[in-house]
Amino acid sequence: MTKAECQEYLRISKSSLEKLVKEGLPRIKLDRRVIFRRIDVDRWLERKVQGKK
């Protein structure tokens, strides 16, 4: 997913996505492009939720 697609998928703003990236949201850098794999995003979010229980 592109940054815009990831924002739409998570229903968050650009600044919120940038915050999540700083918190460790997995991404792949390809030259100047940044992409997110849906499976990585889902797993990362699941770990975050489980860690707060």
**What pTM was computed for the model?**
0.86
Q: Helix, strand or coil for residue 11? A: coil
Q: How many domains does the chain have?
A: 1
**pLDDT of 9-33, one tens digit each?**
999 999 999 999 999 999 999 999 9
- The mean-pLDDT minimum among 14-18, 35-39, 47-51 falls in 47-51
Tell me which long-range contacts 39-44 makes (C-beta under 8 A, separation of at least 24).
41/1, 41/6, 41/9, 41/10
